[in-house]
Homo-oligomer: A and B are copies of this chain.
Amino acid sequence: MNAEIITIGDEILIGQTIDTNSAWLGKELYEIGISVKQITSIKDAREDIIGALDLAATRAELILITGGLGPTQDDITKQVLCEYFNTELVVYPDVLEKVRSFFKSRGREMLESNNMQASLPKDCTIIPNNLGTACGMLFNKAGKIFVSMPGVPYEMKGIMVEEILPSLKLKYKLPIILHKTIITEGIGESFLAERIADWENSLIEKQIKIAYLPSPGIVKIRLSLIGQDKSKMEEIIEQKVAELKQLIPVNIFADQDITLENTLAQLLIDNAQTVSTAESCTGGNIAHLLTSISGSSNYFVGSIISYSNEIKIQELGVKKSDIETYGAVSKEVVEQMAVNVRKKMKTDYALATSGIAGPNGGSEEKPVGTVWIALAYEGGVFSKKFLFEKDRERNIQRATYAALSLLKRKICGQLV
């Protein structure tokens, strides 16, 4: 079964909003065996919407539409859908009641414009939105299904998870698509491909497709297999993953598509261990990622962000003479940061960073992108110098991932 996604909104075309809805929808559909053939983003304009609907219906059986359902004047999707499906807007009293109680339960005043949210196409199936006031709408036309949903990501997700995905799974006999993602860290795409070339070639006879997905500091390897016999397929994929793990044990961060911080959180919780951080160039980003996970108070205690040298000395007990002799971006300083924050926070591990994130502040000896990272643990400290890039954002991200990776390797006995 093929699907297409249409996202509507001027703000997407002029780049003021990044379309994250499509990625989420693509992923959810893929997991239940529905293939997304195309994603189309268009303006809040009548002809563009009608043209996109027409073309999508020639290629796919399911068309998911997001955006343009808000209470403000620039949102025209509902009117255009009425024209396309040859119907008209009518007030749904039960929806109006729900909109009213939505505002009431939140102690918010109901505005005139919010009444409009209960005006919906006469001939369509209304899909409840429990997280907002813009309902979903489902239309059938010439055997194709069209679903229109609000563009606010969490409202759209609510409608999909509660209504659309369950009913798709019930209604259609979908093929089985198995996919497996392995996350690698600390090795570039070309090197990785070269290193696992023979293994990659061995995938062909198993009809497994492979894709490399690089992002700063990380390369994801995605394996895909289509078939009918799920347990047989799982066995084939698992065999190949086991082979890959033997080839690049240290570089594999996770054998599923989760974030580095989630992997690490799980490891720390499983081992009942704790971590703290002392951050200079990463400015709190390691702590932010570690605390982005529900339950993080089980393994995370606190951090000291020591951006200035004074705070490194005062809060982390770094020796002033060492900063003067070796500079703040040095093995000596970063190791003291890690060891001392671990002592202060009484944690099993402590991560510390000190580097030149850029774009300014580099020197010949220590160019922009130079980052020292240290990991303190019971009985010792390990540190390593990295040379990343010229871009500030990428350097902060890569340093953060490299720090998380050091800790993962230590916990897994891979730190050498």
A residues bordering B, Cβ < 8 Å?
10-20, 22-28, 30, 35-43, 48, 52, 55, 70-74, 108-109, 111-114, 152, 154, 179, 181, 188-191, 193-194, 200, 209-215, 220, 222, 257, 277, 279, 282-288, 290-292, 294-297, 300-308, 310-311, 314-315, 344-346, 358-360, 391-394, 396
Contacts and interface: CB of A to CB of B under 8 A. Distances in A.
Contacts of A15: 22-28, 30
A391 B209 CA distance: 36
Contacts of A55: 55
B283 A292 contact: yes
A244 to B, nearest CB: 15
Given A11-B211, A48-B37, A19 B16 contact: no
Given A40-B39, A305-B284, A358-B294, A74 B14 contact: no
A19 B19 CA distance: 7
A40 B43 contact: no
Interface centre among A42, A282, A288 (most CB of B within 10 A): A288
Contacts of A305: 277, 284, 287, 291, 302-305
B26 A152 contact: no
Given A18-B20, A27-B14, A210 B303 contact: no
Contacts of A22: 12, 15, 19, 41
Contacts of A214: 152
B26 A211 contact: no
Given A37-B48, A48-B38, A305-B304, A16 B190 contact: no
Given A213-B17, A303-B304, A12 B26 contact: yes
Contacts of A300: 283, 307
Given A16-B257, A39-B39, 6 more contacts: A11-B213, A12-B23, A72-B193, A287-B287, A296-B307, A315-B315
Contact of A307 (B23, B279, B301): B301
Given A19-B23, A301-B308, A304-B305, A40 B40 contact: yes
A13 B36 contact: yes
Given A287-B305, A288-B285, A306-B302, A13 B40 contact: no
A391 B26 contact: no
B392 A74 contact: no
Contacts of A12: 22-23, 26, 39
Contacts of A36: 13-14
